[in-house]
Amino acid sequence: MNSIVDEVESAQDYNSILRIVKRVVEEKLGIRRAGLMLIIADAPPGILAYHEVGSNAIVLNRRHLEQWMVGKTRAESNSYVFVVLLHEYLHSLGVLDELEVRRLVRALVQEYFTPDHIASKLASGELGTGRELVQNIYLGRARDPILVKDFDTEHLSYIG
């Protein structure tokens, strides 16, 4: 198994997965950005995640994330987060066309993961990524969003 797959499957947090996403994108596309925030919030059922153009935030839909994580291994959970963060990271880099982002995600994932890996199946749309669980998603009152601490901390300097 290659290093990227091992790193994704064993990552301990969102920041670790983002670092892998950023490395893959920079290696293959030659572009990167810093200073992103990750927010986990309740969003409408049809949205897995989003990046608002001009912002520095990626928002993961907690409702889908929670549904996806039920009964999944760390490798499966991390693969889901990797694919979703890769998608939104590309949007944050200015790739706004949804079909182009999906094509890039498929191509980048295929570079590193075998066709039978869960990340490849997620990127190709072969597996559902939460949209099929819409009927099971809690749609009650939205909970307070969570700002993930220590996210995208590379290349940040601190003044003490």
125 domain residue, yes or no: yes
Enumerate the β-bridge partners of residue 61.
Answer: 41
Has residue 41 been placed in a domain?
yes
In a domain? residue 157? no
**Amino acid at site 81:** V
Instruction: Record the tokens describing residue 92, joined without a space.
Output: 């944050």
**Host H or E run for residue 121:** helix 118-124
Total domains in the chain come to 1
Q: pLDDT tens, 108-133?
A: 999 999 999 999 999 998 866 544 55
**In-domain check, residue 26:** yes
Give the range of the structural domain holding residue 116, as residue numbers without chain letter: 3-147
Contact 26/147 with Cβ under 8 angstroms?
no
pLDDT, residue 1, reads 47
Summarize pLDDT for 16-47 with one digit per residue, the tens.
999 999 999 999 999 999 999 999 999 988 88
Task: Say if residue 14's pLDDT is above 80.
Answer: yes
